[in-house]
């Protein structure tokens, strides 16, 4: 070093200082890059966890918290062991559609039939009911609160809402008015209960029973019904 001139020494010092500054800048950049990547990774993990939670661990809606609209005629059955046992329905995973298998009867007659089951006694008692009954003119009667089970869908009584539909003849086909009310009620229930689209099934899908008859024999009509509910829900809820 001794034989370096002062100018050369200064030059080398400046070079060294520049090199160190460059290194510092590089380190800073690297640290920023690592932080940014860590942040992106965290956001990504948070996003994935949120989606998984939303899809698979959705908080169920409390059925008791749902307010009934005025287009539903509420005529609750008297509590009794045969049609309104009062068993809590805590979580609803689906809607089950039925037909009354009793051509020409009205929603009111079917509701009264369920209510009169309370008067039974003895061993050959019948236990049957439904949350809702839709009549030939599209009227909707509610027989059981959404927070209690009905006796309609066998193994699925514990986690579904049931809808009985009246029909004019033995084919089991619903009138247009009944059909439209069924679409409306199903879409409303799906949205209120925060059910996924197409959570509607037939009694047939639970036990293989031919119920609702027409929509078991005509699969395409049933598929059309589900499409109609999905479209109604999209438009209104
Ligand atoms: Zn049924």
152 CA to centre of ligand 1 in angstroms: 6
pLDDT for the residue 2: 58
Cβ of 2: how many Cβ atoms within 10 Å? Answer: 3
Average pLDDT over residues 207-211: 97
* Distance (Å, whole) CA 11 – CA 177: 95
pLDDT for the residue 53: 83
201 CA to centre of ligand 1 in angstroms: 11
pLDDT for the residue 100: 97
pLDDT tens digits along 7-46: 888 999 999 999 999 999 999 999 999 999 999 999 999 9
Average pLDDT over residues 62-74: 95
99 CA to centre of ligand 1 in angstroms: 6
Average pLDDT over residues 189-198: 88
100 CA to centre of ligand 1 in angstroms: 7
61 CA to centre of ligand 1 in angstroms: 25
198 CA to centre of ligand 1 in angstroms: 18
Res 56 pLDDT > 80: no
3-class state of residue 172 by DSSP? coil
Pairing of strands 73-74, 132-134: unpaired
Neighbours of ion ligand 1 (CB under 5 A): 98, 203, 211
Q: What are phi and psi of 204, to 5 degrees?
A: -55, -40
CATH superfamily assigned to domain 63-236: Peptidoglycan recognition protein-like (3.40.80.10)
103 CA to centre of ligand 1 in angstroms: 14
- Percentage of the chain exceeding pLDDT 90: 85
193 CA to centre of ligand 1 in angstroms: 21
192 CA to centre of ligand 1 in angstroms: 23
- 96 vs 50, which has greater pLDDT? 96
Mean pLDDT of the chain: 94
**What does the DSSP 8-state code read for residue 88?**
B
Which of 73, 63, 72 minimizes the C-alpha distance to 195?
63
Q: Which of 98-107, 165-174, 193-202 has the lowest mean pLDDT?
A: 193-202
pLDDT for the residue 196: 84
Cβ of 232: how many Cβ atoms within 10 Å? Answer: 18
Res 228 pLDDT > 90: yes
22 CA to centre of ligand 1 in angstroms: 79
Average pLDDT over residues 125-140: 97
pLDDT for the residue 57: 75
């Amino acid at each position: 070093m001794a034989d370096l001139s002062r100018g050369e020494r200064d030059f080398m010092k400046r070079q060294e200082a520049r090199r160190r500054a460059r290194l510092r800048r590089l380190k800073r950049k690297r640290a920023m890059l690592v932080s940014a990547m860590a942040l992106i990774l965290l956001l990504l993990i948070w996003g994935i966890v949120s989606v998984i939670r939303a899809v698979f661990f959705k908080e169920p809606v409390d059925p008791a918290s749902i307010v009934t609209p005025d287009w539903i005629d509420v005529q609750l059955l008297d509590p009794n062991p045969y049609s309104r046992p009062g068993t809590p329905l805590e979580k609803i995973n689906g809607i089950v559609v039925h037909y009354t298998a009793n051509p020409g009867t009205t929603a009111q007659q079917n509701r009264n039939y369920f209510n009169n089951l309370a008067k039974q006694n003895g061993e050959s008692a019948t236990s049957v009911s439904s949350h809702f009954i839709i009549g030939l003119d599209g009227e909707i009667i509610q027989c059981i609160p959404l927070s209690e089970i009905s006796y309609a869908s066998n193994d699925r009584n514990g986690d579904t809402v049931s809808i009985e539909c009246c029909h004019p003849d033995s084919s089991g086909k619903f009138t247009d008015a009944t059909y439209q009310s069924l679409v409306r009620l199903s879409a409303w229930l799906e949205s209120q209960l925060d059910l996924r689209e197409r959570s509607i099934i037939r009694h047939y899908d639970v036990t293989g029973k031919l119920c609702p008859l027409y929509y078991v024999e005509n699969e395409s009509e049933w598929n059309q019904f589900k499409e109609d509910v999905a479209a109604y829900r999209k438009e209104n809820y």
